[in-house]
Amino acid sequence: MKKKYAAVVLLTGVLMLNSCAANNSDSSKATVTDDIKSSGSVFAMDTYMTITAYGQNGKKGIEAAQKEITKLEKLWSVTDENSEIYTLDHSGGTEVPVSAETEELLNFAIDMHWQTKGALDITLYPVLRAWGFTTGEYCVPDDSEISALLECKGVERISVGNGKAYIPKNTEIDLGAVAKGCAGDAAAKALKEHGVTSALLDLGGNIQTIGDAKPDGTKWKVGIRDPFGEGSIGTLAVGECAVITSGGYERFFEKDGVIYKHILDPETGRPADSGLASVTVIGKEGRLCDALSTSLYVMGLDDACAYWRDSVDLEMILISDDGGVYVTEGIAENFSPKVENVTVIER
C-alpha cells in the first residue's frame, strides 16, 4: 500500500556523504574526549574510502580498520594474481584452499542469490568483462557472445566448505556486489574493538556509522545522491547502521545514442531495465545492504517492495527512472526530501 505526502522541509546546507560527521558545534553535549576527531583514508576495491572517528582511540581504530580493508581486498581482488578469488577464477576447475573470510562471504553470496531469486549472481564476471565494465574498454557484445558467456554462469556450480572452494573451468566469480559492504562491517568491528564508539565510514558511497548519534547528540545525516544530476535528492537522519546505494549512474557508457549501465540482469546478460535509477538500502549489516542494493535494482519497484514487506529490520529509498521517489514507512519521518512529492511504501 502506498500513500503520498508533500515535502515541507526546506534543506539548508545539506551534508553530502563524505562530510556527514563534520558538525560538532553543540559543545554542551560533547565531552572533551568526544571532541577529538581523527580521519584516515585508503584506496581499495577500486574506490577512495574515508573514515572519521571520534574519541581518544580514534587514530588507533582507524589504523586497524584500514589494515582490515586492505587485507580483504588482497583476498577478493579479481585482478590481483595473489588473491584467493583470482586463484579460484584461474584454477582450471580444480579445488583451491580459501580463508575463513572468503569461505564465509562466498556462502553468503550464494545464499543471497537464492533469496533474491537469482537477481544477485556473482558468476556474471565474464559477461561484465565482455561489456568492458571491469576494464573501461567499453563495447556492446553481440547476442551470440552473450549467450555463450551465460552458458558458463551459475551459482549452483560453486562448491565451498571446509576451507576449500571449487568452480568449474570457464566459470569465474566477482564479489564486487558484496565485498565493500563486508569490508565496511569488518572495518566497523575493528574500530569498535579499539574502543571507538562514534565514527563514520564512507566506502565509496557505502556509508556505515558507529553510534546511535554523533558526539553532539544529533543523528548522523546522510545525503542520498540524485541519480539524474549533481547534489542530493534529500537527507536521511540515522543512528548506527549501513546506508548503501546502487545505481546505473555509477558506471555507464553511451554508443549510438544508447546508454548502457553497469548493473546487469543475470537472466539476459544485458544492463538491467527495471525502471529504477537507484536503490538505497538501510540496515544493520553492510554486506546485506550491499547485496540488496544491487539485486533490488535488478528486481524493479514492485518486486523490491514485495521483498521489503517480507523482511525485518530493513528500509529502502527507491528512485524510478521517471524521477519518482519511494520511501519505506520505517524511515519516512527521518527523510527530508528536496522533491515536492514522495511516495511512502507501507507494509
Residue with cell 564512507: 202
Torsion of CA 314, 123, 245, 73, to 10 degrees: 100
Higher-pLDDT residue of 33 and 4 is 33
How confident is residue 296, by pLDDT bands cut at 50, 70 and 90?
very high
* 47 annotated as belonging to a binding site for a ligand: no
- Tell me the mean pLDDT in the region 142-168: 96
- Tell me the mean pLDDT in the region 198-207: 94
Strands 264-265 and 220-225: unpaired
Query: Quick one: cell of 259?
Result: 546508454
pLDDT for res 6: 34
Higher-pLDDT residue of 3 and 251 is 251
Strands 264-265 and 270-271: antiparallel
pLDDT for res 34: 62
Query: Quick one: cell of 159?
Result: 562448491
* 294 annotated as belonging to a binding site for a ligand: yes
d(CA 183, CA 200): 14
pLDDT for res 70: 97
% of the chain with per-residue pLDDT over 70: 90
pLDDT for res 35: 73
Higher-pLDDT residue of 212 and 341 is 212
Contacts of 321 (CB under 8 A, 6+ apart): 275, 276, 277
Please state whether 164 falls in left (phi above 0), alpha (psi between -120 and 50) or beta.
beta
d(CA 232, CA 247): 14
Q: Tell me: pLDDT of 18 over 80.
A: no
pLDDT for res 20: 35
pTM of the predicted protein model: 0.88
List pLDDT tens digits, range 23-50: 333 333 444 356 799 999 999 999 999 9
Q: Do 209 and 184 form a contact (C-beta atoms < 8 A)?
A: no
Of 31-40, 142-151, 275-284, the poorest mean pLDDT is in: 31-40
pLDDT for res 32: 39
List pLDDT tens digits, range 116-145: 999 999 999 999 999 999 888 999 999 999
d(CA 278, CA 247): 4
Q: Tell me: pLDDT of 331 over 60.
A: yes
d(CA 85, CA 178): 13
d(CA 47, CA 144): 33
List pLDDT tens digits, range 311-325: 989 999 999 999 999
Q: Which domains does the chain have, with CATH numbers?
A: 2-76+197-345 (3.10.520.10), 84-166 (1.10.3980.10)
* 290 annotated as belonging to a binding site for a ligand: yes
Contacts of 177 (CB under 8 A, 6+ apart): 109, 120, 122, 290, 291, 294, 295
**The one-letter amino acid at 303:** D
List pLDDT tens digits, range 225-252: 999 988 999 999 999 999 999 998 888 9
- Tell me the mean pLDDT in the region 142-150: 97
pLDDT for res 33: 55
Q: Do 192 and 68 form a contact (C-beta atoms < 8 A)?
A: no
Q: How many CB atoms lie within 10 A of CB 208?
A: 28
Q: Tell me: pLDDT of 5 over 70.
A: no
- Tell me the mean pLDDT in the region 168-185: 96
State the chain's mean pLDDT as an integer. 90
d(CA 173, CA 76): 10
Q: Do 86 and 77 form a contact (C-beta atoms < 8 A)?
A: yes
Of 11-20, 38-47, 196-205, 270-279, the poorest mean pLDDT is in: 11-20
- Tell me the mean pLDDT in the region 251-276: 95
How confident is residue 204, by pLDDT bands cut at 50, 70 and 90?
confident
How confident is residue 14, by pLDDT bands cut at 50, 70 and 90?
very low
The DSSP call for residue 11 is P
Q: Tell me: pLDDT of 96 over 60.
A: yes
Query: Quick one: cell of 83?
Result: 588473491
